[in-house]
Amino acid sequence: MSSPEPGQGHGRRVLLVEDEEAVRMTLRYNLAAQGYVVSEASSGTAGLALARSRSPDLVVLDLMLPELSGEEVCRAIRQESDVPILMLTARGAESDKVTGLGLGADDYMTKPFGVKEFMARVAALLRRSERPPQAPPQGQLIRVGNFTADADSRRVMVDRQEVKMSPKEFSLLFFLLTHHGRVHSRDSLLRAVWGADFHGDSKTVAVHIRWIREKFEAFPSLPFRVNTVFGVGYRVDLAPGETLQP
């Protein structure tokens, strides 16, 4: 990497959403010193607005925020992008709760934490997200019954109606469809869709599966089902008589 900025940040944009000013100042200072470009918000509402308008490379998101909670902000961002999210939580019950929720954040840190550890996690998340996506292969179209998924345009259509999907939702669905009829564990889906060195929680997969199902609830004629194989993982089954069309 050749970049004029000093440090590891190389001008990459980090959005800090944290209402505790002391924490925010410390993180901002250290990020800026490493060459990151930092924008800040002290409420969930302002944070979500900046996530949309600035398209940051990474979001650091506190859980307990005024107006919109970190949980709600995380969910809203995940519906729109795969920007890495580092969630900050307080010690104890709150951190147990958030990791259990499987919000779709990529990493979690419990306060108080050391700045060195924080900077290392930020750098690791950015490294990971800069790898090209593992799936799906380019230039492929899946057609089955009234359903199409186009890997070039990343559009999903059912009954000629577009179903909006986030990039990760699309990749996960595309992978399951191209390997339909087989059971895939959460870990194998993590590796296939998120990449070999994604070390996040495999609950991430369950969360994305739930979102995918919710999006298709309005289409009872969908020619496949995303099934849970209890204790093992997930499998896409085509409706009887359906095949993937060339």
Give the interface with Ca ion as residue ranges (CB under 5 A): 19, 62, 64
HEC per residue, the chain: CCCCCCCCCCCCEEEEECCCHHHHHHHHHHHHHCCCEEEEECCHHHHHHHHHHHCCCEEEEECCCCCCCHHHHHHHHHCCCCCCEEEEEECCHHHHHHHHHCCCCCEEEEECCCHHHHHHHHHHHHHHHHCCCCCCCCCCEEEECCEEEECCCCEEEECCEECCCCHHHHHHHHHHHHCCCCCEEHHHHHHHHHCCCCCCCCHHHHHHHHHHHHHHCCCCCCCEEEEEECCCEEEEEECCCCCCEC
The CA R_g of the chain, rounded to the nearest whole Å, is 19
Q: Tokens 């709150």 label which residue?
A: 94
Least CB distance to Ca ion at residue 113 (A)? 14
Least CB distance to Ca ion at residue 51 (A)? 17
Instruction: Indicate the residue among 8 and 45 with the shorter CB distance to Ca ion.
Output: 45
Least CB distance to Ca ion at residue 12 (A)? 24
Least CB distance to Ca ion at residue 69 (A)? 9
Beta pairing partners, 109? 88
Instruction: Indicate the residue among 9 and 47 with the shorter CB distance to Ca ion.
Output: 47
Least CB distance to Ca ion at residue 24 (A)? 10
Least CB distance to Ca ion at residue 47 (A)? 11
Least CB distance to Ca ion at residue 182 (A)? 43
Instruction: Indicate the residue among 21 and 237 with the shorter CB distance to Ca ion.
Output: 21
| Maximal C-alpha separation, the chain | 61
Q: How many whole angstroms separate alpha carbon 239 and alpha carbon 130?
A: 37
Instruction: Indicate the residue among 82 and 107 with the shorter CB distance to Ca ion.
Output: 107
Instruction: Indicate the residue among 43 and 134 with the shorter CB distance to Ca ion.
Output: 43
Instruction: Indicate the residue among 19 and 169 with the shorter CB distance to Ca ion.
Output: 19
Instruction: Indicate the residue among 43 and 202 with the shorter CB distance to Ca ion.
Output: 43
